[in-house]
Structure 1
Amino acid sequence: MRFSLYVLLSLIVVSCQSKSDPEACGSAWIGGQIVNPKTDYVVISHNRNASDTVFLDERNFFLYHIKAADPGLYYFQHFEFQALFVEPGDSIMLRVNTLEFDESLTYTGPGSSKNNFLTELFLLNEKADQEILSFYSLAPEAFVEKMDSIRLQRQTFLSEFIETKRTSEAFLSVANAAIDYAIFGKMELYIASNNKRLRYGEEMAIPATFYDYRRKMDLGNEDLRTYYPYFRCLGYYFDNLAFEAIEGEKEFSRMSFEHNWHKMDLIESKITNDSLKQSLLKNTVINYFIHAENTEHMALILDKFNGYNQSSEDKRLISELSEIALRLMPNKPLPDVTLVSFDNRTVSIQEIIKRPTVIYFWSLNSPIHVKNIHKRISELRGKYPEFDFIGVNVDDQFKKWQRLVQHESYRTEHEFQFEDFEKAGMALLINSVNKTMMIDAKGIIIDPHTNIFSLDAEQKLLNYLNR
């Protein structure tokens, strides 16, 4: 059975679907250069409903012609997704280095200024995301003031851009959405943070006026349904609504059966765009299955999804994902994927498990996480010498990985790479480098998705030793 998480996220035909102006669809071009390419092709899509594969030439350039460009968001993929705003007459040339994707991405040519603006706005929002944790302890009124200040800065940035560049209503709609839904998402995260305080009796009373922004949220925008700031914000929103539905019954946990059960009902009842609804439902089920530990609950979630979703393709994909998730339940044998050792030998993952083992994952693309995870593992090795701790790098750059392991003096006998990440990542359902697995000495799964940075992780290690 061949299956890829990418299939869950995309498959699309580029076509003109402009409802407001059928004559607006002229041609456009997307091209550019990929520095340090990871494959010999890129994927171009529109609303992620279908995709076209475009091959790189010998200089790692590509060129793609959109015969009838529907003004709006298109997507460029080369291991990472990047949204582009395209409208008739644009000839957008991009350049990106895969080693520093977001930081190196630049555009030139007609239509480039709009995309350079959106990229800069994205980086500003990313910087704000890194600072947001320090704002969660603020009183609701003070938090709103912070968000209003950030919004004003972004709107001023947009106003200054409009003064010097010619813009369309379609572009302004996307630019304003990028500003608004980034702020709305942070408001939802503040609510979620307050919900978590309930278990400690430390929650703050949030006034009704705090939620006024929700009246501005569009729960069925066809043009934005695949736009990450919009989609992510809606995910946060429905997580909070689901918590409110079961408040007092269960502790706040986005991974619980009860939470996801209610979340699916809320998505079904509130989202007015069918394509957006199916994407949100599918995303909810995927995230739940990746963390699920109860087969009966998985079956109930699958039945609910099949009842809400009319797509036979979606049903098939989610059914296959559930079968993979079932093979990763506690007390099941760890799937035997192939690794590559520091000295470039292939070895099966089962072959290296001699004692109770913690398997953690990391990527060269997340340098802060690399330092933090290895520091944490060093601490745990000292506390729990009964366990082996195996690091698995998820990248495909062997020499660069090897140099970093050597430079940082990591234990080479405990550091590996996947031979084929797509195959192994699917077999182990690795959707994030934050995933950690606990395995016993016989290669049987103890816990398929521990958060190694939590106190709960240490309790699980102790529980196993004291069983």
Structure 2
Amino acid sequence: MIYKANFKNYLFVLLAISIFLSCNQSQKTEVIIQGNIVNPMGNIVQLVGPGEMEDGTLSLNFQRETNIDENGNFIDTLNLKSSGYFFFIHGRERTQLFLEPGNKLTINLDSRKFDESITFSGDGSENNTYLKKRFLYQENNGVDVIELSKLESKEYLNQIDSLKQWELNFLKENQNISDNFLNIEKKNSHYKFLQALERYPLYHEFYAKKEAVYDVSFMSPLNSIDYTNQDDYILFPDFKNLVMSYYQNIFNKSDNLKEDLRKLNLSKSTIIKRDLVNQGIYLLSAGNEKNKDLYETLIDLAKEFESTGIDSLTISKLTNKFNVLSSLEKGMKSPVFNNYENFNGERTSLSDLKGKYVYIDVWATWCGPCIREIPSLKLIEKKYENKNIHFVSISIDERNRPRYNYEAWRKMIVEKDLGGIQLFADNAFNSNFTKAYGIDSIPRFLLIDQDGNIVSGNAPRPSDSKLVELFDSLGI
């Protein structure tokens, strides 16, 4: 594996969306999970892992809770149409499971030594013992993804290929696992390798601070991917990431969205379409010249959706946002904020800043990507000090939230020595200014001209070299 930091959480994030591979309809569908927990933390165990149930329905948020009795025993019976990955959760600990129809799996553990003490017996125990052994090894011998990403392309390719071969050899050493599980794990290792290839340019540029250089053969293994393969999309988290990255790249760069998405549109991959529509909502932004094409493309992808329930809400949200943003084209009057509290104790409105360009950073103290932009923002502020531009940061922290709140905002400004004009929004994400710009994710950067008109409702981030190009093109 190529992740070092908290391998368990990595597995949980990536495998929480995995679901089941189809198997013979004649198989028994009953699965029994039972066991005993010494020193239990509370009286509940959870089983989490989306899957296809016996009646054929697909649950993307499958979750079961089972009570632990006074002696630490638990037992649960569920019906599964096909095999796949789950997570067994107790308190703050979790372990990955692989369940197949007909399994009768016994799990015993001491919650004070969760990972080390857990044992499996019964049908399916070999598969799950393998997962435990692999997890413990990788947690103790993980590869530093930062240092790996800094490598030049040839050495990087050698390293990720070695990691893939290690996984396959480790798998081969465990001969008692089921054939079904063996085949799934082999494919899983291949998709991990492909995802490592795909993300190399981005990760290398971020960690090595320079553009990645590689020949055309480096990415050639990606050419054989079928990005409409819904079965693999559902089962393999790394494949899901590859698919989402592929289509988001099309959304960002395509000059003909309908043509570039034709194959997907003609496919039966409804779940992929649904996820893309949900993600596409966040690509709509004020002043984006592609909004109309993007909206029409997303609506086209959604034509197979249900007319009620969550699908209906998604389409409604998409349409509402498009309608809001249609009144926020480049050159139109910007929405305004009035009397926002300034860190210095005064009140500031957008109208107070007329006469200069205004670069606005919408952020929050709980937002990791926002905080990562701070060093770059400081450099930009210094570069354009005393120029024809105001730098404004608007916090959308909730005033009375237990942790990330008004006081945390004031504290972070001092601790990180933040410059520019520091403002606190009047109603967090629900502030009129934030809603008027259709902001539903942060950080978001806005650029407004000297007369209060929109230059960009989704301006480049401070860490993006295109921001300086934009400023210079405007003569700032």
The separation in 2 between residues aligned to 1:118 and 1:278, in whole angstroms, is 33
SS of match in other structure, 1:268: helix
TM-score normalised to structure 2 length: 0.61
1:211 to 217, 220, 225: 220
1:138 to 139, 153, 161: 153
| CA contact 1:222–1:276 (8 Å) conserved in 2 | no
Does 2:186 match 1:182? no
Does 2:55 match 1:46? no
Indicate the residue corresponding to 2:377 in structure 1: 377
1:449 to 448, 455, 458: 458
Shift of 1:185: 1.9
Shift of 1:390: 0.2
SS of match in other structure, 2:59: coil
SS of match in other structure, 1:401: helix
2:166 to 146, 150, 153: 153
- Taking structure 1 as reference, are residues 49 and 455 closer, same or farther at Cα in structure 2, changes over 3 Å only? same
Give the AA of the match of 1:274.
S
- Taking structure 1 as reference, are residues 50 and 16 closer, same or farther at Cα in structure 2, changes over 3 Å only? same
2:264 to 267, 272, 292: 267
Shift of 1:374: 1.6
- Taking structure 1 as reference, are residues 152 and 22 closer, same or farther at Cα in structure 2, changes over 3 Å only? same
Provide the identity percentage: 10
Superposition CA RMSD, Å: 5.7
Indicate the residue corresponding to 2:404 in structure 1: 398
Give the AA of the match of 2:50.
H
2:470 to 414, 435, 460: 460
Indicate the residue corresponding to 2:363 in structure 1: 361
1:427-454 superposed Cα distances (whole Å, 9 cap, x missing partner): 7665764542334578764322223212
Shift of 1:301: 1.8
Give the AA of the match of 1:138.
S
Shift of 1:294: 3.7
1:408 to 409, 412, 416: 416
- Taking structure 1 as reference, are residues 354 and 390 closer, same or farther at Cα in structure 2, changes over 3 Å only? farther
| CA contact 2:254–2:260 (8 Å) conserved in 1 | no
1:20-66 superposed Cα distances (whole Å, 9 cap, x missing partner): 363143144899979xxxxxxx9955148343678999xxxxx9966
The separation in 2 between residues aligned to 1:278 and 1:303, in whole angstroms, is 10
Indicate the residue corresponding to 1:22 in structure 2: 27
Shift of 1:312: 2.9
Indicate the residue corresponding to 2:10 in structure 1: none
1:282 to 266, 277, 286: 277
Indicate the residue corresponding to 1:388 in structure 2: 391
Indicate the residue corresponding to 1:301 in structure 2: 297
Q: Which runs of 5+ in 1 are unaligned?
A: 1-11, 35-41, 58-62, 96-104, 195-201, 243-253
Indicate the residue corresponding to 2:209 in structure 1: none
Give the AA of the match of 1:436.
F
| CA contact 1:75–1:83 (8 Å) conserved in 2 | yes
Does 2:84 match 1:72? yes
1:371-430 superposed Cα distances (whole Å, 9 cap, x missing partner): 642222222222145313205366952268355444334359716479555899887665
Larger proportion of helix: 1
The 10-residue stretch of structure 1 (275-284 or 24-33) with the greater mean CA deviation from structure 2: 24-33
Indicate the residue corresponding to 2:5 in structure 1: none
The separation in 1 between residues aligned to 2:428 and 2:108, in whole angstroms, is 33
1:61-91 superposed Cα distances (whole Å, 9 cap, x missing partner): xx996633553134799xxxx9954525365
Shift of 1:358: 1.4
The separation in 2 between residues aligned to 1:259 and 1:119, in whole angstroms, is 47
1:255-302 superposed Cα distances (whole Å, 9 cap, x missing partner): 145264344223235x6x534442454356335435843443244324
Equivalent residue pairs, number: 400
Q: Which runs of 5+ in 2 are unaligned?
A: 1-15, 52-57, 68-73, 121-127, 205-211
Indicate the residue corresponding to 1:249 in structure 2: none
Shift of 1:332: 6.0
- Taking structure 1 as reference, are residues 370 and 276 closer, same or farther at Cα in structure 2, changes over 3 Å only? closer
The separation in 1 between residues aligned to 2:193 and 2:259, in whole angstroms, is 25
| CA contact 1:267–1:280 (8 Å) conserved in 2 | no
Indicate the residue corresponding to 1:247 in structure 2: none
TM-score normalised to structure 1 length: 0.61
Shift of 1:206: 2.0
The higher-RCO structure (CA 8 Å, 6+ apart) is: 2
- Taking structure 1 as reference, are residues 405 and 65 closer, same or farther at Cα in structure 2, changes over 3 Å only? farther
- Taking structure 1 as reference, are residues 412 and 462 closer, same or farther at Cα in structure 2, changes over 3 Å only? closer
- Taking structure 1 as reference, are residues 372 and 148 closer, same or farther at Cα in structure 2, changes over 3 Å only? same
The separation in 2 between residues aligned to 1:427 and 1:55, in whole angstroms, is 41
